[in-house]
Amino acid sequence: MDLLNTLVDKGLRRELPTREEALAVLATSDDDVLDVVAAAGKVRRQWFGRRVKLNYLVNLKSGLCPEDCSYCSQRLGSSTGILKYSWLKPDEASRAAAAGLAGGAKRVCLVASGRGPTDRDVDRVAGTIKAIKEQNEGVEVCACLGLLSDGQAERLREAGADAYNHNLNTSEGTYGDITTTHTYADRVDTVNKAHAAGLSACSGLIAGMGESDEDLVDVVFSLRELDPDSVPVNFLIPVEGTPLAKEWNLTPQRCLRILAMVRFVCPDVEVRIAGGREVHLRTMQPLALHLANSIFLGDYLTTEGQAGQADLEMIADAGFTVEGADEVTLPQHRAELQGAGCGSHGAEGAGCGSHTAEGAGCGSHAEGGCGSVCGSHEDVAAAVTVAANEPRTDLVAVRRRGAGTDLAPNA
């Protein structure tokens, strides 16, 4: 296919595709999806080999958010039944982080619900970063706290943060249909503040909210212009009790095309499969590793993810390797741009994938990540009988373990 050959050539040269080419990737048929994956996979391997970076979420403060983001289970007036708790103490957060690091994660993403942090909140998070880094040598820390005020990004950097996550989520033209309590420009401003402070910027999107192909291309081209080191791709988890609970617009093939388009537009950037992979990619998750070079391990913010051991087995079975703490995530030309403290191994790669301001955070779009197959054998057998085009509500499970509970985390 001439289109794919052209996109591979451009990706290997780090050349931006045209909007028409990006739209054409999304318009390819299911019959061509393996060709699309194979083509984008060449670009992924050129810049990231067969390494997969593992990231781990710690939800520092859950629910009780004043923002009205339609996709978020932590939104204002939410009736989703998620865990609600105030700030974890530094030692509690450090213990939660240790579970993910023991499972192979090299980056910890610290997330807190809310519009944005107060200066006192920044002090709290600074203490948590210090505790985690004192107890885990070489760990990378990404903060995801919402909209930043002047000077806060610098304070986080001084406290030891390597990266900051704040997603654009959707196109500027449709942002007002999703959220009314802050603007698209607010989000762009926070990403720029992170950049200016020397933090590795992480910013991505949420697919599946009823947006058009044009909207998806718009937001990915906007991300390319902002030039984050990491682009998390979330797939909407339609959690009951949110305004978008009935939006089941994604198929595994559609998700693969979206990831391929992101890879072609952002060839040498860390592309992370964030919230919703287990819900929408399902058994096609291994194919997505040929497109993205980063995932979250274990559970998400407010929903359950695939078992951590299953993630590790999937990576190995697909012929990939877990990226080590001593390995540099980004290609050399990008890592060098970041400088010694911020773009070498990890700082460069951002850690989170969420929309942050609304309380979400790193790696999923707030409601967390997904419900994997965390049920009985009977539950799994019942799920198998569900038609491919039907909503998979059986795969959405509210997190009841890990941070904010007395139960061991999934990692």
Catalytic one of 44, 51, 69, 266: 69
Q: Would you call 399 a catalytic residue per the annotation?
A: no
Annotated binding-site residue? 72: yes
Q: Would you call 72 a catalytic residue per the annotation?
A: yes
Q: Would you call 202 a catalytic residue per the annotation?
A: yes
Torsion of CA 312, 314, 320, 326, to 10 degrees: -20
Catalytic one of 65, 266, 342, 374: 65
Annotated binding-site residue? 266: no
Catalytic one of 109, 255, 362, 370: 109
Annotated binding-site residue? 142: yes
With contact defined as beta carbons under 8 Å apart, do 236 and 207 qualify? Answer: yes
Annotated binding-site residue? 109: yes
Annotated binding-site residue? 263: no
Annotated binding-site residue? 65: yes
- Closest C-alpha to 272, from 189, 350, 163, 387: 350
Q: Would you call 142 a catalytic residue per the annotation?
A: yes
Annotated binding-site residue? 144: no
Other C-beta atoms lying within 10 Å of the C-beta of residue 384: 6
Give the 3-state secondary structure of the chain: CHHHHHHHHHHHCCCCCCHHHHHHHHCCCHHHHHHHHHHHHHHHHHHHCCEEEEEEEEEEEECCCCCCCCCCCCCCCCCCCCCCECCCCHHHHHHHHHHHHHCCCCEEEEEECCCCCCHHHHHHHHHHHHHHHHHCCCCEEEEECCCCCCCHHHHHHHCCCCEEECCCECCCCCHHHHCCCCCHHHHHHHHHHHHHCCCEEECCEEECCCCCHHHHHHHHHHHHHHCCCEEEEEECCCCCCCCCCCCCCCCHHHHHHHHHHHHHHCCCCEEEECCCHHHHCHHHHHHHCCCCCEEECCCCCCECCCCHHHHHHHHHHCCCEECCCCCCCCCHHHHHHHCCCCCCCCHHHCCCCCCHHHCCECCECCCCCCCCCCCCHHHHHHHHCCCCCCCCHHHCCECCCCCCCCCCCCC
Catalytic one of 44, 51, 72, 362: 72
Catalytic one of 254, 263, 272, 282: 272
For residues 261 and 40, give the distance between their C-alpha atoms in angstroms, rounded to a whole number: 8
Catalytic one of 44, 51, 107, 142: 142
For residues 156 and 54, give the distance between their C-alpha atoms in angstroms, rounded to a whole number: 22
What is the CA 55 to chain-centroid distance, rounded? 9
Catalytic residues: 65, 69, 72, 109, 142, 202, 272
Binding positions for [2Fe-2S] cluster = 109, 142, 202, 272
Binding positions = 65, 69, 72, 109, 142, 202, 272
Binding positions for [4Fe-4S] cluster = 65, 69, 72
